[in-house]
């Protein structure tokens, strides 16, 4: 039972250079906490002091923004891909 | 790194946590993921810039090169900027307003304001040594990146939603380069590009060189002030997609005072325009909310169809702190406003311009915009880009046989 978490280039210094990390399935919250446990320091980049996901951090599960799902409580199933993507503006 | 005497950019700073970085092709703070913004040596700019030095510059955005993060020597220049500021008395009368101006930015090289930001982004990309440029686009940016890349001899990859207006695909593909139609909406395209930007050594104009790109929008404030005789408007109305344009126009007016080009500190009320089918920023404003909830866009104003607006928080701050307003207007109002602008002022705007004018109308009716204010509405893209929106309502007045009788049968002409 595992899911793949894609690490953005900005955070790879903390993931030992890894672009993808495999973790146990669970919720977005539990997986990101597990990511922090595996790679100390990563959590502080993603969560603010109050424990909420920072407002410029976007998390996608199977290509869908978790704000359209159940937020950090979104359940991630075996084999799904979680992407952490910085907000970008456009036009 | 550029050490050109004309570039006064000194570094990048995070808008969220103020962490500072060197000038580099990066866009996100490593500490909090906040967006990075270019810093300048304003004292150096102040001592070298003047109204005269600007007047002696080219009739393009590059007359303000000292306030941009790229040197004029390296400029990729198709002639972006210095578009007309048109006095709009007939539209003002129709809306019950007083002094109204239209910043007609449809008259750029590829017919939208995106030429301003792309010129700056590609100039900086060349200075960084990139050979390939790319972007995620709702259409206007695609046109501009493809054209400027062709002009500069750069390779290009332009990513657009596959449901884009066919005209915007044609007006991108015509310049060569790679056009990638992605099966998804703009936010899907943007996410894909954010991931690709980490994999390829390309300058994604709205991703890894975005801090530089976004600065190009400031020229829309500089020009308006210069065209008004170095005075600022009382109120501006600006379309919002990501919210970046609105925040940069506000920044532009403030910078002019900071470097000594304006006598008085500007007091410009800034209002923002969105289409109801994609109005995450306007909804937060009208609800008095601090959080912006992303949406799935559904509007004819595709160039504003960004459901997850990265600069929305900063746009909210600007509009709230300057005492402006926001509106979310329906697609019917958008088309009506496109016709109103065309028929009162002879300016054909794309749907995004319809959003701006419909918002101007709404805010005038609500008394947010007052008849004693000097108002500038920013019309940022040409109507030929979104012909589909007006095809049903802009038709021949009559179709007749080629003879005088048929003409007289169709038209009862009393004057001559």
- Taking only residues 16 to 55 of chain B, the set having a beta carbon closer than 8 angstroms to any beta carbon of chain A reads 16, 26-28, 30-35
- C-alpha B35/C-alpha B248 separation (Å) is 14
Q: Do A57 and B33 touch (CB under 8 A)?
A: yes
B130: in domain:
no
Determine the distance in angstroms separating the CA of B393 from the nearest CA of chain A, rounded to an integer. 27
Give pLDDT < 70 ranges for chain B: 1-6, 415-416
- For residue B6, the model assigns a pLDDT of 66
A86 or B42, higher pLDDT: B42
In a domain, B126, yes or no: no
Cβ contacts (< 8 Å) between A65 and chain B: which residues? 187, 294, 308
Find the CB nearest B141 among A9, A63, A90.
Answer: A90
Structural domains in chain A plus CATH codes: 3-86 (3.10.20.30)
Residue A90's pLDDT band, with cuts at 50, 70 and 90, is: low
- Chain B: residue nearest A66 by CA? B294
Predicted pLDDT of residue B211: 95
Q: Which residues in chain B touch residue A54, judged by CB atoms under 8 angstroms apart? A: 16, 32-34
Residue B400 resides in a domain = no
Say yes or no for a CB contact (<8 Å) between A85 and B296.
Answer: no
Contact residues on chain B for A6, CB-CB shorter than 8 A: 195
Q: Find the CB nearest A45 among B31, B207, B243.
A: B31
CB B35 to CB A56 under 8 A?
yes
DSSP string, A40-90: TTHHHHHB-TTSPBPTTEEEEETTEEGGGTTGGG-EE-TT-EEEEEE----
SS3 content of chain B, % helix, strand, coil (to 5): 40, 15, 40
Answer yes or no: do A91 and B35 touch at CB < 8 A.
no
Instruction: Tell me the shortest Cα–Cα distance from A61 to chain B, in angstroms.
Output: 12
| CA atoms of B211 and B247, how far apart (whole Å) | 13
Whether residue B294 lies inside any domain: the answer is yes
Domain contains B158 = no
Evaluated on CA atoms B19, B25, B30, B32, the torsion sign reads positive
For residues B353 and B351, what is the distance between their CA atoms, to the nearest angstrom?
5
Q: B241 and A91 in contact by Cβ < 8 A?
A: yes
Q: How many domains does chain B have?
A: 1
Q: Which of residues 289-318 of B touch A (CB under 8 A)?
A: 291, 293-294, 296, 303, 306, 308-311, 313
Write out chain B residues lying below 8 Å of A13, CB-based: 30
* Token pair in block for residue B241: 């997609």
CB proximity B243 to A under 8 Å: yes
Which positions ≥6 away from B241 have C-beta within 8 Å? Answer: A90, A91, B138, B303, B304, B305, B306, B309, B352
The total of other beta-carbon atoms located within 10 Å of residue B76's CB is: 23
Structure confidence by residue, pLDDT tens digits, B91-105: 999 999 999 999 999
Q: Verify whether the Cβ–Cβ distance A89 to B243 is below 8 Å.
A: yes
Residues in chain A: 91
Q: For residue B307, count CB atoms less than 10 angstroms from its CB and return exposed for 0-12, middle for 13-18, buried for 19 or more.
A: buried
CB contact under 8 A, B32 and A60: no
Q: Is residue B43 part of a domain?
A: no
Any A CB within 8 A of B198 CB: yes
- Residue B38 belongs to some domain of the structure: no
What CATH number did the domain enclosing B273 receive? 3.40.50.1100
In a domain, B181, yes or no: no
Interchain CB distance below 8 Å, B141 and A91: yes
- Rounded to two decimals, what is the model's pTM? 0.94
Q: Which residue of B has its CA nearest to A9?
A: B198
| pLDDT computed for residue B413 by the predictor | 84
| ipTM entry | 0.85
With beta carbons less than 8 A apart as the criterion, state whether B253 and B107 touch. no
CA distance B130 to B115: 19
| Closest residue to A85, CB basis, from B35, B186, B194 | B194
What digits encode the pLDDT tens for the residues B256-308? 999 999 999 999 999 999 999 999 999 999 999 999 999 999 999 999 998 98
Give the strand pairing for B20-21 and B36-40: unpaired
For residue A8, the chain B residues in CB contact (below 8 A) are 28, 194-195, 198
A91 contacts B242? CB cut-off 8 A: yes
Facing A65 at nearest CB: one of B33, B35, B308: B308
Taking CA–CA distances from B191, the nearest residue in chain A reads A85
Q: Smallest Cβ distance to B190: which of A19, A54, A88?
A: A88
Which domain range does residue B383 map to? 85-111+214-389
Interface of B with A in 143-182 (CB under 8 A): none
Confidence at residue A89, expressed as pLDDT on a 0 to 100 scale = 60
Q: Could you tell me if B60 lies within 8 Å of chain A, comparing CB atoms?
A: no
């Amino acid at each position: 039972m595992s899911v793949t978490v894609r690490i953005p280039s900005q955070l790879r210094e903390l993931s030992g250079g890894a672009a993808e990390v495999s973790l146990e399935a669970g919720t977005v919250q539990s997986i990101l906490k597990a990511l922090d446990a595996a790679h100390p320091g990563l959590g502080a980049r993603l969560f603010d002091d109050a424990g909420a996901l920072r407002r410029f951090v976007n998390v996608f599960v199977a290509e869908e923004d978790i704000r359209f799902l159940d937020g950090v409580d979104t359940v991630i199933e075996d084999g799904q891909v979680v992407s952490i993507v910085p907000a970008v503006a456009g036009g | 790194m550029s050490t050109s005497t004309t570039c006064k950019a000194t570094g990048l700073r995070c808008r969220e946590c103020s962490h500072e970085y060197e000038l580099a092709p990066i866009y996100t703070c490593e500490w909090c993921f906040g967006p990075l913004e270019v810093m300048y040596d304003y004292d150096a700019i102040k001592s070298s810039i003047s109204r005269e030095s600007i007047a002696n510059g080219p009739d393009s955005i590059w007359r303000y090169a000292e306030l941009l993060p790229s040197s004029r020597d390296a400029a990729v220049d198709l002639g972006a900027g210095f578009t007309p500021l048109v006095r709009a008395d007939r539209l003002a009368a129709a809306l019950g307003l007083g002094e109204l101006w239209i910043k007609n930015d449809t008259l750029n090289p590829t017919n939208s304001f995106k030429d301003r930001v792309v010129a700056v982004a590609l100039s900086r990309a060349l200075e960084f040594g990139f050979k390939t440029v790319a972007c995620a686009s709702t259409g206007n940016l695609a046109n501009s990146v493809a054209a400027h890349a062709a002009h500069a001899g750069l390779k290009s990859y332009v990513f657009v939603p596959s449901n884009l207006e066919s005209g915007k695909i044609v007006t991108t593909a015509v310049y060569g380069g790679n056009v990638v139609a992605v099966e998804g909406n703009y936010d899907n395209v943007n996410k894909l590009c954010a991931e690709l930007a980490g994999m390829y050594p390309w300058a994604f104009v709205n991703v890894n060189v975005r801090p530089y790109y976004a600065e190009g929008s400031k020229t829309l404030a500089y020009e308006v002030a210069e065209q008004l005789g170095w005075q600022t408007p009382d109120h501006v109305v600006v379309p919002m997609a990501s919210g970046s344009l609105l925040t940069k126009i506000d920044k532009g007016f403030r910078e002019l005072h900071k470097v000594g080009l304006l006598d008085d500190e500007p007091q410009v009320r800034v209002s923002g325009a969105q289409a109801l089918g994609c109005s995450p920023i306007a909804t937060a404003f009208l609800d008095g909310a601090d959080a912006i909830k992303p949406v799935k866009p559904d509007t004819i104003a595709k160039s504003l169809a960004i459901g997850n607006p990265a600069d929305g928080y900063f746009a909210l701050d600007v509009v709230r702190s300057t005492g402006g307003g926001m509106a979310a207007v329906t697609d019917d109002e958008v088309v009506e406003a496109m016709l109103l602008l065309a028929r009162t002022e002879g300016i054909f705007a794309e749907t995004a311009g319809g959003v701006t004018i419909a918002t101007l109308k709404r805010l005038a009716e609500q008394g947010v915009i007052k008849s004693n204010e000097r108002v500038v509405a920013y019309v940022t893209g040409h109507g030929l880009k979104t012909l589909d929106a007006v095809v049903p309502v802009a038709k021949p007045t009559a179709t007749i046989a080629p003879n005088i009788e048929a003409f007289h049968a169709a038209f009862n002409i009393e004057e001559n």
